[in-house]
Amino acid sequence: MIKVLVPFDFSPTAQHALNFATSLTEVYHHVEISVIHVLETPVTTGMGTMGGGLESIPDFQNQIFYMELIETRKKQFKELEEQYEGSKFSFKSKLVLGNVFKGINEAIQKESPDLVIMGSKGSSGLEEVIIGSNTEKVVRNASCPVITIKADTPIDKMKKVVFASDFRESDDHVAGRIKRMQAIFDAEFYFVVINTPGNFETTRESMERIRTFVRKYQFENIKAEIYNSLSEESGILEFADDVQADMIAMTTHGRTGLLHLITGSIAEDVVNHSKRPVWTYKTK
């Protein structure tokens, strides 16, 4: 059995993610799908120190709207449950009040899913720098693999997967996850090292690390590639475009705080800017 958590905000991208999750029944006989919707708690707008007066009106209106929204979400969840009743997979839904990322993160810790599948709209410019996205936070912190979806993605169309890495660290967990993904998608896998001006090395060096990784974990049907680009992020995206990949796979170290602000995250940048699904897994 595979347990899948789908954060759901009733947007088209969230529905794409849910559709992808339900299509896992084509390769797994037992799939348990848990859908979670986190409704942000409204922030009060009143500025009065003693209460009452005109400042309490916006708060009251917000509370009315919030209660109505809760009822709307409950009805929508009931409709979803009825839609998937009698399906091949197990389906359950949960409505949580509070902070979106915190709610999703707590659900991951409590339910221990094998996979998180979530929609991502992506962002750019000032919004990307200041706000970031809940998707990026989940990618950075989740203890299980995360697949981000931006468009309708039938699982039977998953024929080419790019796994981008420097292959400097041997990780049994990562290798196991990649092998499992191979079994799920029955796809052609490309193992690629991105060569950049700031971190240049010879093709022979890069290819030897890929071969060592492949031999150690006994991978089969792998294409090893070296791709030159100005940055790791652009190289991964460009290579995926060039081979017309259906998914990008990569690991992230899940850095937070000052180190994250200084170094950023290649995985999060790729998730944010990729037009195709991205599989990520946080390594220790």
Residue range 176-219, pLDDT digits in tens:
999 988 888 888 999 999 999 998 999 999 999 999 999 999 99
CA distance 282 to 284: 7
Q: Could you give the percent of the chain with pLDDT greater than 90?
A: 56
CA atoms within 13 A on the CB side of 70: 13
CA distance 284 to 281: 10
Which domains does the chain possess? 2-43+67-141 (3.40.50.620), 155-282 (3.40.50.620)
Q: What is the pTM of this model?
A: 0.86
For residue 65, the model assigns a pLDDT of 83
Smallest CA-to-CA distance from 100 within 119, 80, 126, 128 is with 119
Residue type, 247: M
Residue range 136-178, pLDDT digits in tens:
889 989 999 999 999 998 888 889 999 999 998 778 889 999 9
Enter the tokens of residue 1.
């059995």
Q: Are 18 and 115 in contact, with CB atoms under 8 Å apart?
A: no
CA distance 163 to 247: 9
Give burial (CB, 10 Å; 0-12/13-18/19+) of 258: exposed
Q: Indicate the average pLDDT of the chain.
A: 85
Between the CA of residue 133 and those of 42, 86, 253, what are the distances in Å?
18, 35, 18
